[in-house]
Structure 1
Amino acid sequence: MSSVLHPVGPEDKGIYWRRRLVTIVVLLVVIVLAVVGIRALTATDDAAAQGQKLDPSHVASTLTAAPGPSTSPGATPTDSPTDSPADSPTGSATGSPTATGTGAVAPCEPAALTVALTSDATTYGPGKAPRFVVTVTNTSQTACTAEIGSGVRGLVATDASGAQVWSTADCEASTASQVYTIQPSKNRAMTTVWSRLHSAAGCPPDQQAVADGNYTVTATWDQIVTAPLTIALTS
């Protein structure tokens, strides 16, 4: 210990003290650098660890912004413009009206409705039964109710001589009321199939098939008669 505090040697004591001072300074610098380096490494590790953590506010924002199922506000089903009751093979249209809330809707004025008769073909070959469609259209700007049951509509076919050969009224199975609400510019279509047989009042059985040729068909709805429609039957 005395040699440390009291240097012994051939040289001046100041030289020994300066050397020891330099050595101490160097050691201090090394220690400081070591401490700084350790802290730097520790800070880097902490930053890396922080970078791997999720930001709770970011997660919450992402979950909140995630889109849900797409919906269309006010999206409600609309009436089919050509919805029609089912029909029997004998040509008598049948069907039950859906709930329409007709109590709050006024009946249609005659001037607000148009009636048209169409067919699915103009010529029918062997075994092909003519199919006719009676369409009632509301041409007004407001919804209204209309009775379109078989009791107020019918179809008649006449041959080239003008003689009646078939009428839906002869074999009408039911004349039940069928009141429908028709929206503006919409329509209600009723389909009737003709079995190509003669008909007579009371619908007697064993009616014969009509002969080949041209036939004129007209439809009547609530005393409105449609334009005539001509079809041809062949065998």
Structure 2
Amino acid sequence: MAGLMQPVGPEPPVVYWVRRGALLLVVVTLVLGGWWFLGSRSAATPDTSTEVAAEETEVLEDDGSAATEEALATPAEPTECLDSDIEVTATTDSSTYRVGQQDPILTLTITNVGDVPCFRDIGPKANELEITSGGYHVWSSDDCSTSDESDRTLMAPEKQAVLILTWNSRLSQKGCPDEGKGRKAKAGRYEVVGRNLEVTSDGTPFALSNKKN
């Protein structure tokens, strides 16, 4: 213990004290240098936890965007047409016909006026052309029809389905008791109305006349 406090050796004590001081200075320098080095590395190290969290958030946002784009890119399957998407018109090829000489040609037109394609039954079972006079039933395409056929068709926007038939100018009744051989219609004013399912057209007037056109 005394050797640590009092220099022992052949040289003067001051020499040993100088050596001890130099050694102590080197030790202190090494300690301070190590502390400074470790401190600088700690300050330069980025906050990796923040970066990882940010990256994870970005991945979640990208997944949501991709799903939305995929949904928008996939067109919806067509469904049944709403009645509000369907327009029906009934027309004649002339406004006046001579009795016994000309039979009116009637046209039923069904149009998809909606914005998207949809399915619609345009078969004989779903359609009707009816002629009235003064509010009374005169003839209908359903009176003597035996067809219950359906025709479910995909209709694009503005697509039309057209049915054309000729009225033989004879009266008919529901159930066709006279087998379509009813008496001939007389001269007068008439109106034709078309129907597809629950959608009905406006009436189109025409006349039967005994006079020549």
The answer to whether TM tops 0.5 is yes
CA distance in 1, matches of 2:130, 2:114: 29
Matched, 1:194 2:167: yes
Structure 1 residue 151 corresponds to structure 2 residue 125: yes
Identity %: 26
2: distance between equivalents of 1:146 and 1:183? 10
**Counterpart mapping for 1:131-210 below 5 A:** 131-159=105-133, 161-203=134-176, 204-205=178-179, 206-210=181-185
**Alpha-carbon displacement from aligned partner over 1:62-118 (angstroms, at most 9, x marks no partner):** xxxxxxxxxxxxxxxxxxxxxxxxxxxxxxxxxxxxxxxxxx632212222111111
1:1-235 matches, within 5 Å, as 105-125=78-98, 126-159=100-133, 161-203=134-176, 204-205=178-179, 206-235=181-210
- 1:173: how far off? 2.5
The residue type equivalent to 1:219 in the other structure is G
- Identify, as 1 or 2, the structure richer in strand: 2
Question: Which digits, 9 at most, give the CA deviation of each residue in 1:30-87, with x for residues without a partner?
Answer: xxxxxxxxxxxxxxxxxxxxxxxxxxxxxxxxxxxxxxxxxxxxxxxxxxxxxxxxxx
Contact 2:90 / 2:193 at 8 angstroms: preserved in 1? yes
Code of the aligned partner of 2:81: C
Question: How far apart are residue 226 of structure 1 and its match?
Answer: 0.9
Structure 2 residue runs without a partner (length 5+): 1-76
5+ residue gaps, structure 1? 1-103
| In structure 2, C-alpha distance between the alignment counterparts of 1:141 and 1:224, rounded to whole Å | 18
> Take 1:220 and 1:130, find their aligned partners in 2: how far apart are those partners?
18
Counterpart secondary structure, 1:151: helix
CA distance in 1, matches of 2:118, 2:160: 11
Give me the TM-score of the superposition, normalised by structure 1.
Answer: 0.52
Q: Is the 8 A contact 2:90 2:129 kept in 1?
A: no
TM-aligned CA deviation for residue 175 of structure 1: 1.7
Mapped partners of 1:131, 1:143: distance in 2: 30
TM-score computed with the length of structure 2 as normaliser = 0.57
1:147 deviates by 0.2
What's the counterpart of residue 49 of structure 2? none
C-alpha contact 2:128 2:142 (8 A) present in aligned 1? yes
Deviation at 1:232, TM superposition (A): 0.7
Structure 1 residue 192: deviation in Å?
Answer: 2.4
- Change over 3 Å in CA distance of 1:214–1:176 after alignment to 2: same
